[in-house]
Amino acid sequence: MEKAPHLVLCIDDELIGLQVRKLLLERAGYRVATALNGPQGVEIFSTQPIEAVVLDYYMPGMDGGEVATSMRRIKPQVPILLLSAYVDLPAEVTSLVDLYMTKGEGAPCLLTKLSSLLQPVTAS
Amino acid sequence: MNLRQFNSVLRQVFLLPVVALLVTAGALYWQIRGANATVNLIQQSDARISQTILVAKLMVDQESSLRGYETTGDPRFLQPYLEAETHLPIEFARLENVAGEDPEQRRLIADLKNQHQTWTDAFALLVVSQVKAGGETHDVDLNLGGKAMMDHVRQDLDAIILSAETNRITRIARWHQQLHAMLAALMVVALGVGILIGLFTLNRFHTVSAAYQDSLEVLGRRADELFQSEQRMRTTLDSIGDGVITCDAAGCVQIMNPVAQDLTGWTQTEAHGKPLEEVFRIVDQATRASIENPVAKVKRLDRVVGLSNHTVLLRKDGRELDISDRGAPIRDQFGETTGIVLVFRDVTIERKTQEALIANEKLAVAGRLAATIAHEIHNPLDSVSNLLYLMRNGATEEESGQFMAMAEQELARVTQISRAMLGLYRESKTPVQVDLKEMLEEILLLMERRITDLAVTVSTDLPANVSVGAFPAELRQVFTNLIANAAEAAGPNGSIHLCIKPQPRGVDPAGLALQAGAWVIVSDNGVGVSEEVQSHLFQPFFTTKGERGTGLGLWVSQGIVQKHGGIIKLSSDTSADHHGTVVSVFLATNPTINAG
């Protein structure tokens, strides 16, 4: 790969889940930044050249919807993939993000969706 | 007019004639006394006349006797003269005595005595001495002188009698006058007193009659008011939606309103006078045992009583209705129970609605739990599936071992949660011994996520081996609800405290028996709830959480605790220093479960 690998920000309050997801994405060729809560994630998002965000919805304090809203205000062009342990998410939340999926759908699904989000950037 | 005034009128009507007649009798007595005095005077006159006649007779005797002696010279003829001479001074004294103080009479009597004395001295003694001496006494002059002296005596006697008779006539005339005056006065007084008594009695009876008229009018008005009041009561009874039966003190039916007739299937006519238990037959919904007749219960407790829940009314036609009822004593002015009122209504639909609401709340609780559980299971599943993917796509031996350990750890979490979930919905038919520490820890585990999300810290004081008899699933619902409420009330950075306090069997300071069991106390340091809100907290559909709450949580919890024969109570403080809410639930070790 000529280009430097994409920098992806993962935010999840589940430590093990976050560690495994980081490992998975690194194996798939991404650079990964992690945050254990919303405010920390927004901080990293605004200071580093993040190209895509993998965001957990259900977090204490600031939930995925609020984090996405803040991020859209800072850098609206950065794609966001929302992960949720719930099957159904409210429409006002899903409309905020580019794509969303339910946890447990499997690693291939996550990788496909993430790469589809980054495709247009690679093409340009 | 009251009875006292009426009695006073009666007394007046009795006393006035008595007094008036006494006065009349007094006046009459005075009049009669006057007449009596006059009669006495008349009698005096009579006595004077007869005394004068007596004296005159004695004098005639003397004169005749003297004349006989003078003619014959025989001393036997002189005997009457001598007798009269001894009697005369006495009879003169009597005559003076009966003459009284009359000066004319006194003068005449004195003159009579003088004349008689003169006749005696100048004629009679002379004649007697001459006859004794044997001399002649046929001297005409001497005898004429004697006769003239005796004529004077006779004149005086006539004058005395005439004077007495004149007096007598005057006095009789006066007596007649007095008699007439008395008769006239009697007539006038009788008429006056009669009219007075008549008028007075008339006046008094007018007063009584007016008062009687007033009483009649008042009674009439009272009767009208009573009728209107009764009509109002009847219309009210007929209009209300509850069944109302009133009974007399013996418990026999008096009045049934239309709803009561409709609900029991008995008409007023059929039921009137029948014992209440015949018309109003009630049994316990579950046991079918007869429930104590409300009349007996009200009498026994002597206060308003609400009758037990789950009461079924057996109608006359055999159909059954779920009812809720209450009875109250009717008291007279002395506080004696003179009857009983029974109010009841058909709660068949209400009970079904309640059951539906409880079922609905159970579903809502289940739904919320399902979402929590899905979340709790999906997180570890996601990690496990990611780990498997990594292992399949070329991981080193060492990495695989590490990944497997992580996967196992995550699966263990899933198992733990699934166990807790199974426990939640395992229904049992009879109460079982539930270890409170175990149950509360399981609930906290399931709620851990929610509590963490709310940034609430939980502290516990849960002694081991404290168990109570209960239906576990229902108890979990209660505690889940109370802990969720506490966590939401505490809010971010707030804290909640959970503790178990065993209660041994005993007697409280007020002297009430305490059951063996335990208190579960859930407290938070939220802002607290005002007293006004507290009073509504256990009502259905009351919520302080807006769209997020169903408003059934505490109501259902209370229902469950009561079914377990337990107690649930809430106290709250909204002051700045000690704000927070404490909910305490008591559950007995060996409870009496109320049918639900």
Binned at pLDDT 50, 70 and 90, residue A1 comes out as very low
Residue B589: DSSP 8-state: S
Angle at A85 between CA A83 and CA A86, to 5 degrees: 105
B263 CA to centre of own chain: 37
8 Å CB contact of A17 and B453: no
> Is the predicted pLDDT of residue A18 greater than 80, yes or no?
yes
Whose CA is closest to B467, among B440, B437, B426?
A: B437
Query: Can you give the residue ranges of every domain in chain A?
Result: 7-119
Q: Does A106 touch chain B (CB under 8 A)?
A: yes
State residue A55's pLDDT score. 92
Q: What is the pLDDT of residues B231-290, one digit of tens each?
A: 998 898 888 888 999 998 888 999 999 999 999 999 999 999 999 888 988 888 878 888
CA distance A124 to chain B (A): 30
Checking ipTM against 0.85, whether it exceeds it is yes
Q: DSSP secondary structure string, B451-476? A: HHHTT-EEEEE--SS-EEEE-HHHHH
Interface with chain B: mutation pick from A14, A16, A66, highest number of B CBs within 10 Å: A16
pLDDT band at A122 (very low <50, low <70, confident <90, very high): very low
Contact B389 A104 (CB under 8 A): no
Sign of the C-alpha dihedral computed for residues B267, B270, B271 and B277 taken in this order? negative
Summarised one tens digit per residue, pLDDT across range B179-188 is: 898 888 889 8
Q: Where are the alpha helices (DSSP H) in B509-552?
A: 531-534
d(Cα B542, Cα A7) in Å, to the nearest integer? 51
| Residues contacting B136, CB < 8 A, separation 6+ | B130
Taking contacts as CB-CB distances below 8 angstroms, the residues of chain A near B382 are 17, 83, 85, 103-104
Question: What does the pLDDT average to over B531-540?
Answer: 78
Q: Lowest-pLDDT range, B23-32, B144-153, B457-466, B542-551?
A: B542-551
- Percent of the residues in chain B that have a pLDDT greater than 70, as a whole number: 94
What whole-number distance in Å separates Cα of residue B378 and Cα of residue A94?
19
Nearest-Cα residue of chain A relative to residue B403 = A20
pLDDT at B424 over 80: no
- This prediction has a pTM of 0.44
Do B379 and A17 lie within an 8 Å CB cutoff? yes
Q: Which of A77, A86, A117, A82 is nearest to A101 (CA)?
A: A82
| Per-residue pLDDT tens over the stretch B479-510 | 988 999 899 889 888 999 999 999 888 877 77
What local confidence, expressed as pLDDT, does residue B352 receive? 83
By percentage, how much of chain A surpasses pLDDT 90?
50
- pLDDT tens track for A55-78: 998 887 788 889 999 999 999 999
Residues from chain A that touch B380, judged by Cβ atoms under 8 A, are: 16-17
All residues at 6 or more sequence positions from A33 whose CB lies less than 8 Å from its CB, including other chains? A7, A8, A9, A10, A44, A48, A50
Task: Summarize the confidence of residues B451-460 as an average pLDDT.
Answer: 88
Token readout for B438 is 């175990």
Which one of A16, A27, A107 has the shortest CB-CB distance to B385? A107
Joined tokens for residue B342: 């029974």
Q: Is the pLDDT at B573 greater than 60, yes or no?
A: yes
Determine, for residues B375 and A17 on separate chains, whether the beta-carbon distance falls below 8 Å.
Answer: no
Contact call for residues B374 and A7 (beta carbons, < 8 A): no
Distance CA(B379)–CA(A63), nearest Å, equals 16
pLDDT at B201 over 70: yes
pLDDT of B585 = 93
- pLDDT attached to residue A121: 46
CATH 2.30.30.90 fits A7-119, yes or no: no
Judged by average pLDDT, the poorest of B206-210, B291-295, B401-405, B522-526 is: B291-295
Beta strand residue intervals within chain A, DSSP E = 7-11, 31-35, 52-56, 80-84, 99-102
Average pLDDT over residues B303-318: 80
Question: Nearest CA to B385 among A82, A5, A32, A106?
Answer: A106
Tell me the residue type at B248.
Answer: D
Q: Do A24 and B410 touch (CB under 8 A)?
A: no
CB pairs under 8 A between A and B: 65
**Residue B199 has what pLDDT?**
92
Residue B214, φ and ψ in degrees, nearest 5: -55, -45
Q: Is the pLDDT of residue B422 over 80?
A: no
CA distance B417 to chain A (A): 15
Chain B positions in Cβ-Cβ contact with residue A27 (cut-off 8 Å): 390, 393
A15 touches B at CB < 8 Å: no
Q: In this complex, is the C-beta atom of A23 within 8 Å of any C-beta atom belonging to chain B?
A: yes
Q: Is B455 exposed, middle or buried (CB count within 10 Å of its CB: 0-12, 13-18, 19+)?
A: middle
Q: What are phi and psi of B51, to 5 degrees?
A: -65, -40
Q: Are A100 and A84 in contact (CB under 8 A)?
A: yes
Nearest 10 degrees: Cα torsion B164, B169, B172, B177: -140
| Domains in chain B with CATH codes | 3-211 (1.20.120.1730), 242-346 (3.30.450.20), 355-588 (3.30.565.10)
DSSP structural state of residue B164: H
Q: Could you tell me how many residues make up chain A?
A: 124
Q: At residue B547, does pLDDT exceed 60?
A: no
Q: Which residue has the tokens 């209009």?
A: B239
> Mutate which of A23, A105, A109, A110 to test chain B, going by most B C-beta atoms within 10 A?
A23
In this predicted structure, the answer to whether residue B423 has a pLDDT above a threshold of 60 is no
pLDDT at A124: 38
